Amino acid sequence: MIHETAIIHPDTEIAEGVEIGAYSIVGEKVSIGAGTKIGPHVVIDSFTDIGQNCHIFQFAAIGAIPQDLKFAGNKTYVKIGKNTTIREFVTIHRGTKAGGGITVVGEENLLMAYTHIAHDCKLGKGVILSNNATLAGHILVGDYATIGGLVAIHQFTQIGDYAFIGGKSAVVKDVVPFMIAAGDRAKLHGLNSVGLKRHGFSIQTISELKKAYRIIFRIGLTLNEAFERVKADVEQIPEVVNLINFIKNSERGITR
């Protein structure tokens, strides 16, 4: 089901059940998985891999070269996981050689209208980017993170699993897993309790994460002191271990 006005490069690999709308353009070395729907006026540039059952709406632009002045025409890639929805005017750029050569959007992501994903970003599973959210280069976004509308995130920043970034925020440091961050510049505002409940986390897990949050961020301890206190006073469930390891491995520093 490819519209007669669509322009498809002969090297494109198109699986069964793919739909491509009117006036869309698909470039060289593109792969499109089974059941994916591509609306009208979509541009998919070279070296892009799109998974199964994705839905790409009109005027999206995927796989263009990065907005990096150092880019020298290297063969770099975009990879989009299955069951991902990409709404109107979304832009996703290819990676750079220095950044690993690939931009990755994980499975079951929802990228709302006008969102931008720059070179070498890597998004996990179930990520939501609300309208006009903007990711600079080299950003890592964990599984099931939600980024609100009009949010701008600084390059090389990491967003932890199940984190929630409130709308119109400017994020310049890493946001730890399971927490809410908001503001210009973003600050932590507690545990993402509503999001965790919606994703089926137990009352006990949420309670232990609240204890860890209070110890690390609310009672004035140094990080080393806080880690020792968490080790002594909080059950070492996987989510708490994830939280501590994220903080220890942060290179930009964490949002406090």
Catalytic site positions? 119-120, 137
Distance CA 58, CA 21 (A): 8
Relative orientation angle of helices 238-249 and 223-233, to the nearest 10 degrees: 170
Distance CA 201, CA 205 (A): 6
Q: Is 213 exposed, middle or buried (0-12, 13-18, 19+ CB in 10 A)?
A: buried
DSSP-assigned states of every residue in the chain: -B-TT-EE-TT-EE-TT-EE-TT-EE-TT-EE-TT-EE-TT-EE-SSEEE-TT-EE-TT-EEEEPPS-TT------EEEE-TT-EE-TT-EEE---TTTTSEEEE-TT-EE-TT-EE-TT-EE-TT-EE-TT-EE-TT-EE-TT-EE-TT-EE-TT-EE-TT-EE-TT-EE-SBB-TTEEEETBTTEEEEE-HHHHHHTT--HHHHHHHHHHHHHHHTS---HHHHHHHHHHHS---HHHHHHHHHHHH-SS-B--
